[in-house]
Amino acid sequence: MSVAHYMDTMDYAPAPEGSGEAKAWLATHAAGFGHFINGAWVGAGRAESFSSNDPSTGKRLARIAQGSQADVDAAVAAARAAQGPWAAAGGAVRARHLYALARMVQRHARLLAVVESMDNGKPIRETRDIDVPLVARHFYHHAGWAQVQATEFADQRPVGVVGQIIPWNFPLLMLAWKIAPALALGNTVVLKPAEYTPLSALLFAELAAAAGLPAGVLNIVTGDGTTGALLVDHPGVDKLAFTGSTEVGRLIRERTAGSGKALTLELGGKSPFIVFDDADLDAAVEGVVDAIWFNQGQVCCAGSRLLVQEGVAERFIGKLKRRMAALRVGAPLDKAIDMGAIVAPEQLARIRALVATAAAEGGTVYQAPGAEAACPGEGCFYPPTLITGVQPGATVVREEIFGPVLVTGSFRTPDEAVMLANNSRYGLSASVWSENIGLALDIAPKLVAGVVWVNATNLFDAAVGFGGTRESGFGREGGREGCYEYLKPIAWDERPLRSAPVATPAAPAAPAANVFAMPPIDRTAKLFIGGKQARPDGNHALPQFAADGHPAGEVGAGNRKDIRNAVAAARGAEGWTKATSHNRAQVLYYLGENLSARADEFARRIGTLTGATPEQARAEVDASIARLFTAAAWADKYEGRVHQPPLRGVALALPEALGVVGVVCPPEAPLLAFVSLVAPLIALGNRVVVVPSGPAALVATDLYQVLETSDVPAGVVNIVTGDALTLARTLAEHDDVDGLWAFGSAELSTLAEKLSVGNLKRTLVDHGRAIDWFDDRAAAGPLLLRHAVQVKNVWIPYGE
């Protein structure tokens, strides 16, 4: 070829990255890789093994051990033995280790990048310039958190032994996202890489050992989903962190329910990429390339749903098609290609099948002319693909394709853009393009997503939390909020398990089910729904007894329908979430004031129902008033942060209310527990449906008048009395409930976690531990506030 030819065609020759060092490394493991357990290699060359292949050729790269129960047992035991000394070593020591890992990654960056591209199929340009530098950055950043842990997280301790299961799309980066915070904060780890891409994790284990990481602190067990399930079920694991499909995430939520294991899930997405008519269209086209053709579209936060404003839609699609014609698909180690190979034949088949549904559902499938033919002949390749003309309900609009396939639609107004963008069961990320800063920043808060990029896409940094909402999972990775996912509050952890359910007053001669027909003269406290007192749907009442056994009154026996009505009322009270924190603080102060005006009455009621002495009862009322004042204080102080990542722009980390939260109160401290749970939730803009303490529900029904006279808008606090387990079940199963806090028993914790799996709502439970509601460390301030919100990170251009 002549220079003139290259100038004419702008074509260029392959520029392969050398793979000699990687091949030499693989050759040292020609007999097969084992697991990395307690600082040693175990199980290499066993019959139970599988291949890890190069997706660009289909050829085997290595034999990998399939982790058995004995392997997982050994890894968890090693992690357990190492955890105490690792935590006790102190943050400064752990910081040195993380720093050593960061340096090790930088020193072996080229080898790591090549191994990653060979095993996964992604372009070397990406592994070299994005994955590996971000991995090093993650260890540096978390070395810092280890260094300052003692002061910054003084009220927390490590969770313990952490099981981590990661996917194949960013094998090394996901390993770093998982292990850096876990190790920094004093936990030890058993990590299972994805079966398609275990090699970079195994190489990392070798580097970690060489860097002097103590044995047992990091253990790597390879295998497929069955090995993953062994880790999920292992009783020696204190926390699970999972990234992968929503399907497996759900399974893990169900299997860990009630086990006491902490859980974070980073699942799928179908993220919108919104282009307004005043956007810089050429920049937005480059954005699309990054959004959906980065890593062959195998990205959980890929901008896979393009929404373009009608006036520019045709022009934009035209530009995009021209750009598609210039994208090159080829060998992953070729430095000049834009897209590499799809990770495995199964994934390629899945992409093809989903694209076929688009055609069947009336869509038009576009690939640049000759694109398919230009893909390498062997291996798993699929060209950049654009689907137009599909309805919002089409399979390819709803389902995650996890491949280089973009689905497009158009909108007329900003409101319609928001409506279409949010019309998804996922809520991971969104990208907004407009030159009008007012418009872009008006849209960002309205998008249901954990991450929003303004005039950018797919930006990541260790200091900026990442994670989603809805069926994209819960929890955050990175940043301060990510650290909390590997810590637990000392004040809760110190508390003993409830040996038996808290004693309820003996019920003299009550009918077996304690359920009476409504008496003709209505003396029964009703429910409180939508700002009004409402008769329970079933028209039944439950007796309440004084501590001495005498009847003390009746409360309504709420049922599923009452909960549904209460949830609808809470949904409707959206104005509370949009209200200013100053407004919310005022209402909480007012609540405190009105409660204090009736303090004697509440103290008497508590004394009668619980048998507390007048002093104890008064102390509970006073503590409840203080809690309201504390929540009011925090309402306008629990604020976001501004991150300044080493990229152009800043990221606003903004705490957002969960939405509608169900609260099931424990039997003890009927007023104080109620207030301690509800006040932080409403302070930060949530609307609640509360099931008060069963034995002393009359304390909560006495609150109706306080709520009515305190300017709490209708629907913000709804109260449904009745059987806690029955009502908790309805709350947990309700798809319009975004979070569920359930306190009182291990049984309730299990039920809340298990049944929340439908919409993957956030749960906060006590796992049967009796919280000391009088202890400010355990029941006031940031500890609960943190659970009342989720952080949304909005990346905006700023500076040069």
By annotation, the residues acting in catalysis are 266
Question: In the set 54, 195, 562, 668, which binds ligand NAI (CB under 6 A)?
Answer: 195
Residues 757-796: x where in contact with ligand NAI by CB under 6 A, - otherwise, as a string? ----------------------------------------
At closest approach, how far in Å is the CB of 280 from ligand NAI? 29
| Residue 194 binds ligand NAI, judged by CB under 6 A | yes
> If you write DSSP's letter for every residue of 674-734 in order, what string do you get?
HHHHHHHHHHTT-EEEEE--STTHHHHHTHHHHHHTTTPPTTSEEE--S-HHHHHHHHHH-
At closest approach, how far in Å is the CB of 247 from ligand NAI? 7
At closest approach, how far in Å is the CB of 224 from ligand NAI? 5
**Please, which residue, 246 or 676, has the CB nearer to ligand NAI?**
246
Of 665, 655, 641, 679, which is closest to residue 786 (Cα–Cα)?
655
CB 291 within 8 A of CB 431: yes
Dihedral angle sign, alpha carbons of residues 673, 678, 681, 682: negative
Burial of 543 (0-12, 13-18, 19+ CB in 10 A): middle
At closest approach, how far in Å is the CB of 271 from ligand NAI? 11
Question: In the set 115, 135, 205, 267, which binds ligand NAI (CB under 6 A)?
Answer: 267
At closest approach, how far in Å is the CB of 445 from ligand NAI? 24
Residue nearest to ligand NAI (CB): 228
Q: Which of residues 401-440 bind ligand NAI (CB under 6 A)?
A: 402
At closest approach, how far in Å is the CB of 338 from ligand NAI? 21
**Please, which residue, 220 or 740, has the CB nearer to ligand NAI?**
220
Dihedral angle sign, alpha carbons of residues 94, 143, 206, 33: positive
At closest approach, how far in Å is the CB of 788 from ligand NAI? 26
**Please, which residue, 166 or 663, has the CB nearer to ligand NAI?**
166
**Please, which residue, 340 or 662, has the CB nearer to ligand NAI?**
340
| Residue 71 binds ligand NAI, judged by CB under 6 A | no
At closest approach, how far in Å is the CB of 341 from ligand NAI? 15
What gap in Å lies between CA 680 and CA 628, rounded to an integer? 8
What gap in Å lies between CA 343 and CA 351, rounded to an integer? 11
Listed ranges 86-94, 167-175, 313-321, 620-628: which one lies at the site for ligand NAI (CB under 6 A): 167-175
> If you write DSSP's letter for every residue of 339-355 in order, what string do you get?
B---S-HHHHHHHHHHH
Question: In the set 147, 169, 429, 434, which binds ligand NAI (CB under 6 A)?
Answer: 169
DSSP one-letter code for 30: T
Q: Which of residues 32-61 bind ligand NAI (CB under 6 A)?
A: none
Dihedral angle sign, alpha carbons of residues 134, 138, 139, 140: positive
Q: Which residues contact 465 (CB under 8 A, 6 or more apart)?
A: 450, 476, 477, 478, 479, 480, 481, 482, 653, 791, 793
Bridge-partner residues for 529, per DSSP?
532
Question: In the set 165, 567, 635, 755, which binds ligand NAI (CB under 6 A)?
Answer: 165
What gap in Å lies between CA 348 and CA 346, rounded to an integer? 5
**Please, which residue, 168 or 294, has the CB nearer to ligand NAI?**
168
At closest approach, how far in Å is the CB of 298 from ligand NAI? 7
DSSP one-letter code for 404: S
At closest approach, how far in Å is the CB of 261 from ligand NAI? 13
Alpha-carbon distance values, 405 to 263, 270, 371, 382, 472 (Å): 31, 11, 13, 9, 19
Strand 641-643 and strand 551-556: the pairing is unpaired
**Please, which residue, 238 or 400, has the CB nearer to ligand NAI?**
400
Q: Which of residues 342-401 bind ligand NAI (CB under 6 A)?
A: 347, 350, 400
Residue whose token pair is 């901008």: 303
Strands (E), 38-104: 40-42, 49-53, 60-65
**Please, which residue, 73 or 224, has the CB nearer to ligand NAI?**
224
Burial of 593 (0-12, 13-18, 19+ CB in 10 A): middle
**Please, which residue, 253 or 641, has the CB nearer to ligand NAI?**
253
**Please, which residue, 232 or 770, has the CB nearer to ligand NAI?**
232
Q: How many chain residues are in contact with ligand NAI, going by CB under 6 A?
A: 25
Of 278, 161, 163, which is closest to residue 231 (Cα–Cα)?
163
Q: Please report, as a single letter, which amino acid is at residue 322.
A: R
Burial of 189 (0-12, 13-18, 19+ CB in 10 A): buried
Question: In the set 78, 105, 262, 300, which binds ligand NAI (CB under 6 A)?
Answer: 300
What gap in Å lies between CA 666 and CA 673, rounded to an integer? 7
What gap in Å lies between CA 457 and CA 290, rounded to an integer? 7
If phi over 0 gives left and psi between -120 and 50 gives alpha, with beta otherwise, what is residue 43? left
**Please, which residue, 199 or 563, has the CB nearer to ligand NAI?**
199
Q: Which of residues 612-671 bind ligand NAI (CB under 6 A)?
A: none
Which H or E run contains 417? helix 414-422
At closest approach, how far in Å is the CB of 196 from ligand NAI? 7
Of 241, 219, 228, which is closest to residue 86 (Cα–Cα)?
219
Of 401, 406, 374, which is closest to residue 290 (Cα–Cα)?
406
What gap in Å lies between CA 223 and CA 64, rounded to an integer? 8
**Please, which residue, 191 or 706, has the CB nearer to ligand NAI?**
191
**Please, which residue, 67 or 667, has the CB nearer to ligand NAI?**
67
At closest approach, how far in Å is the CB of 758 from ligand NAI? 18
| Residue 205 binds ligand NAI, judged by CB under 6 A | no
**Please, which residue, 194 or 707, has the CB nearer to ligand NAI?**
194
Listed ranges 191-199, 280-288, 308-316, 500-508: which one lies at the site for ligand NAI (CB under 6 A): 191-199
Q: Which of residues 214-253 bind ligand NAI (CB under 6 A)?
A: 224-225, 228-229, 232, 243-245, 248, 251
What gap in Å lies between CA 574 and CA 214, rounded to an integer? 51
If phi over 0 gives left and psi between -120 and 50 gives alpha, with beta otherwise, what is residue 794? beta
Dihedral angle sign, alpha carbons of residues 474, 475, 476, 481: positive
Bridge-partner residues for 432, per DSSP?
274, 454
At closest approach, how far in Å is the CB of 111 from ligand NAI? 23
Contact residues toward ligand NAI (CB under 6 A) are 165-169, 192, 194-195, 224-225, 228-229, 232, 243-245, 248, 251, 267-268, 300, 347, 350, 400, 402
